[in-house]
Chain A
Amino acid sequence: MTHKLTGDQLLTTDPLARVEGEGAMTVRVRGGSVTDVELRIFEPPRFFEAFLRGRAYTEPPDITARICGICPVAYQMSSCLAIEQVCGVRVDGPLRDLRRLLYCGEWIESHALHIYLLHAPDFLGFDGVVDMAPHAPEAVERGLRLKRVGNEVMTLVGGRSIHPVNVKVGGFYRVPTRAELRTLREPLLHAREDALETVRWVSGFDFPDFEQHQEYLALRSPDSYAIEGGSFVSSSGIAFESADFDLHVREEHVARSNALHARLHGVGSYVVGPMARYTINHDVLSPLALEAAAAAGLGATCRNPFRSIIVRAVELVYACDEALRIVAGWEPPSQPAVEVTPRAGVGTGATEAPRGVIWHRYRLAGDGTIRDARIVPPTSQNQASIEEDMRSFVQDRLDLPTDELTRQCEQAIRNYDPCISCATHFLHLHVERA
């Protein structure tokens, strides 16, 4: 089938393969111009924010992990920060390092999954990793090795890689010994080499000429590339604390989907995730990651979403570097967790999931019962930008045969690593209480 989109036509991709969850995209073309792009979310809502009401303050790390099996640690960490904030507790020192290490494991696993299993096949013209494997066996093995090391880190620190059991409000149930963490050193050293090779490999792909000029939003920490906490900073210089997120970001329920679109006050749509993080924080990357970025031709920003795969690879290098640093300096604390006594109040927490920042807010009663909960995942923040991207992307490619255009659109959507499950597990709950 090679007919072209010339008149009033519809192009649909249904469902989008290789993005977690199920979505479909519709592009409307009229008289040679793209008039509308819709990214539809099929997945039914699971009502997390509704059923969190009435649960105990200790439960969100386990419960919200189940929003997304690909980034459970991100949900666990944001929920812990929010509840600790209500209770006036700060988790610092080795416990914070251990959280960062667990999170690095998730970044390594998720980025390796996305780069090798989900996105590289697009660039090289394959349907998926299985049919790519005979043609690029070394690369596929490298990807699987990297992914395995990410899972090993999570399994050691968290007990398992999907929905780790060892995370609690205040810290962990059990902290590893020095000898235990030292077993990660060798695998991580190899993983770092594999990550450097990944940067070289993906920077040789063909990248369509495509620029977008969206606002970028990411967390920033003074002395490191923000992962397990930080303050919000945008590419045009808007800066605020996590507590003020809902003053700056408004969400709209888009009638056609079960997801919400987030808009930054005074700006409109915006982008979170690797490109935003790199643009805002590249100055605090490790020397090795910076060197790899420069060698791959990345400058001070990345404006071509197709090149986000290079940024992910650079973040892989960084995550291995950070994990190695934490493993080398590990001194177990005397207690696996800080005592957290519940009290009434509101708290927020934001951390950088592999695909972008996740924000949680909880209101607790004096006995620790959750009164209300709000969760803003990355995909609902990116969705409006994805649609805007797609509008101009398709406009410039209307002459392509439908099959080819469909393939390219899928690839363009995967630039954002959209965890569609996240977007729709998201539920905007606004309970007004006087």
Chain B
Amino acid sequence: MSPQPVPATPKPPATKSPANNPPTTKPANPGGAAAKPKLAVWKFASCDGCQLSILNCEDELLALAGAVDIAYFPEATRGMVAGPYDLSLVEGSVTTPVDAERIRRIRAESSTLVTIGACATAGGIQALRNFADVDEFRSVVYAHPGYVSALDRSTGIATHVHVDFELRGCPIDKGQLLEVFAAFVQGRPPRVPAHSVCMECKLRGNVCVMVASGTPCMGPVTQAGCGALCPSYNRGCYACFGPKETANTASLADQLIRLGLGDRDVMRMFRTFNAAAEDFRQQSVAHDEGGRR
């Protein structure tokens, strides 16, 4: 499951408001001004880092606000405009029954739906529960477990609804986010490279950390996008952008073992921020002695 530029498929406009969040305080396009595309930013289980990336576009933020109508973005504004929305950005993973319902309503209200980040795309770090017993987590942890509603799996948005484009990273890259906006406004698919971090690292002229110093690195199987940040800081990539398309995870696992890592280390390397992405899940399970499959 890697980001495929899929052209936006217009959905019939929906009439229902999203669950929990009836954004009804303002009419759409007040004063009948020329319609700008309506942007909504939604949060599911996440750290808010990916939506913070939007606010981190300090140089572009006001221009962006001029190009689109920021209709629903509670992290940034109390103003809320009712749907339907032209572009919905979704951060976070689905971890509760209520959220599984909410994402369907958001999909029905959104012409184009783009997931931002590892949580929304692959379940995020909270998908580590997928390999454990959530009841144990909950009952040991909370004095009132009955109030803590949680599914036993954390899943990406595409498990629940059709997703038009998936932006990778934990967090996403600001440049790639701006490319998604530009592509959307120009009505074309986003241009996001499909090669590996390893390739980016070579393009950048770095010395390979794995070859030069035997540092374990996930670069060969990881989707590009960060500009090979970690190797540029003398550390191995830990795959925060998730698996690239047709990643040869088995061969990398063999190489990691040759570098002296144990099965548990290999298991942990595949089981972090994109643990539930299928290629990584399989490889972590293959190295998990006695773990839950």
Are A173's CB and B150's CB within 8 A?
no
Is the contact region of chain A dominated by helix, strand, or loop, or is it mixed? Answer: loop
Q: Is A159 in contact with chain B by the CB < 8 A criterion?
A: yes
Chain A to chain B: the 10 pairs with minimum beta-carbon distance, closest first: A69-B49, A128-B77, A17-B78, A127-B79, A51-B128, A253-B143, A46-B126, A50-B137, A255-B144, A144-B58
Q: Is A221 in contact with chain B by the CB < 8 A criterion?
A: no
Selecting from A54-62, A195-203, A229-237, A322-330, the interface stretch reads A54-62
Q: Which of A164-216 contact B (CB under 8 A)?
A: 165-166, 168, 173-174
Are B56's CB and A161's CB within 8 A?
yes
Q: Can you list 5 residue pairs at the A/B interface with Cβ under 8 Å?
A: A15-B21, A69-B46, A69-B48, A159-B232, A166-B233
B95 to chain A, nearest CB (A): 5
Are A46's CB and B125's CB within 8 A?
yes
Are B75's CB and A162's CB within 8 A?
no
Residues of B within 8 A of A (CB): 20-21, 43, 45-53, 55-56, 58-59, 61-62, 65, 70, 73-80, 95-96, 99, 124-126, 128-129, 132, 134, 136-138, 140-144, 147-150, 154, 170-171, 226, 229-230, 232-235, 238, 240, 265, 268, 272-273
Q: Which of A35-54 contact B (CB under 8 A)?
A: 42-51
Are B77's CB and A18's CB within 8 A?
yes
* Nearest CB in chain B to that of A137: its residue: B62
Are A44's CB and B96's CB within 8 A?
yes
Q: Is A96 in contact with chain B by the CB < 8 A criterion?
A: no
* Nearest CB in chain B to that of A112: its residue: B58
Partner of B240, one of A19, A21, A147, A163: A163
Q: In the assembly, what is the distance between CA of A258 and CA of B142, in Å?
A: 9
Are A47's CB and B137's CB within 8 A?
yes
* Nearest CB in chain A to that of B79: its residue: A127
Q: Chain A 408-426, CB within 8 Å of chain B: the 1/0 string?
A: 0010000000010100010
Q: In the assembly, what is the distance between CA of A324 and CA of B49, in Å?
A: 27
- Taking CB atoms, residues of chain A closer than 8 Å to B47 are 66-69, 72, 421, 425
Number of inter-chain CB pairs below 8 Å:
195
17 new A-B contacts at CB < 8 Å, known A17-B78, A162-B49: A15-B20, A16-B74, A44-B96, A45-B141, A51-B125, A51-B128, A63-B272, A67-B47, A68-B47, A147-B56, A160-B226, A163-B49, A253-B143, A257-B147, A421-B47, A425-B47, A430-B141
Are A51's CB and B235's CB within 8 A?
no
Q: Chain A 1-33, CB within 8 Å of chain B: the 1/0 string?
A: 000000000000011111111100000000000
Are A128's CB and B76's CB within 8 A?
yes
Q: In the assembly, what is the distance between CA of A90 and CA of B8, in Å?
A: 54
Partner of A162, one of B52, B147, B232: B52
Are A162's CB and B268's CB within 8 A?
no
Q: In the assembly, what is the distance between CA of A49 and CA of B136, in Å?
A: 12
Are B99's CB and A130's CB within 8 A?
no
| Known contacts A51-B132, A410-B78, A428-B142; A21/B48 CB under 8 A | yes
Q: In the assembly, what is the distance between CA of A113 and CA of B170, in Å?
A: 20
- Taking CB atoms, residues of chain B closer than 8 Å to A165 are 229-230, 233, 235, 238
- Taking CB atoms, residues of chain A closer than 8 Å to B56 are 147, 151, 161-162
